[in-house]
Amino acid sequence: MIVAVLGANGQLGSDLVRTASVMDGGLETLALTRKDLDVCSLSAIPTVLSGLECNALVNCTGYHKTDEVEGRATEAFQINAHAVAVMAKVCRARRIRFVHISTDYVFDGESRRPYLETDPANPLNVYGASKLLGERLALREYGDGTLIARVASLFGVAGSSGKGGNFIETILRRGKETGEVRVVNDIAMSPTCTADVARAILGALRQGAPAGIYHLVNSGSATWFEFAKQILHEAGVKARVVPVSSEEYPTVALRPPYTVLNNEKISQFVGELPHWKTALCQYLQEKGHVSIAQSARSAD
């Protein structure tokens, strides 16, 4: 199987390429970056994609800067929705699988139990609305061949170039530099490692998972405060973590207060996804923040 990856130099895209290279079963990837295809140009998408020899396309591109997007809605909808529709149309014409990466921000956060794929979406911000439209257009264009992979609160070894790293690295840096971090404790989500998402996507493609929407997140949930405490604890950084209200850190875009996702549907095809604490330990080891011995002692 040959899987083309759009946005292959990003946090998730790079893990897809890396994971495929070590998985059994003859998986290959075609790594495409913005130099190969700028999805801002809708007319370029069919030309580039039609020339690829692949069995599946995974779209990891997107306009992800949630606050910036509030003032650039036209661009956000072009990249996160209309470009996605063009991709789906090309994949349908070629009869190859299409995987589109979406977000937990399609929900409004009013639930108090993990969201199912069947729960109604109601985004609070432009980013979430543009991603939701992208889901709907992709499924409308190619309903029997599209997998929508909703992810959340991602962290990966490559970091997010668009956002300047990731939450873990920010917390470690601030903890070491100042000895104290203030983190919101009234927003709950599903911390998720891109390596686990990559394994789930590739596993779903190999298993021939049916088209539709899937929640691809690590198991468990946390507030950002709880996540930060665990990061510093596992890394052995002596810093005080202060819980604060999100009102203390106002943002341009509204954030839903609860976007924990239920991942049982995808687990039926790829097995149970690891708990986020396990994923965090593996990430810290790979980045060199802790040794394997340290991690083992922490688990004990």
As annotated, the active-site residues are 127
Q: Which two tokens stand for residue 20?
A: 């495929």
127: exposed, middle or buried (Cβ count in 10 Å: 0-12, 13-18, 19+): buried
Give 285: exposed, middle or buried? Use CB within 10 Å, 0-12, 13-18, 19+.
Answer: middle
Q: What is the sign, positive or negative, of the torsion defined by CA atoms of 8, 13, 18, 23?
A: negative
Return the structure tokens found at 240.
């005080």
CB count in 10 Å sphere of residue 47: 11
The CA-atom distances, in angstroms, between 279 and each of 41, 160, 177, 287 are 36, 17, 25, 12
The single-letter DSSP state of residue 77 is H
């801002």: which residue's tokens? Answer: 40
Q: Quote the radius of gyration of the chain (alpha carbons, Å).
A: 19
Helices 276-286 and 167-178 pack at an angle, to 10 degrees, of 70
Angstrom distances, CA of residue 99 to CA of 92, 144, 257: 12, 12, 27
Q: Within 10 A of 50 (CB to CB), how many other CB atoms are there?
A: 10
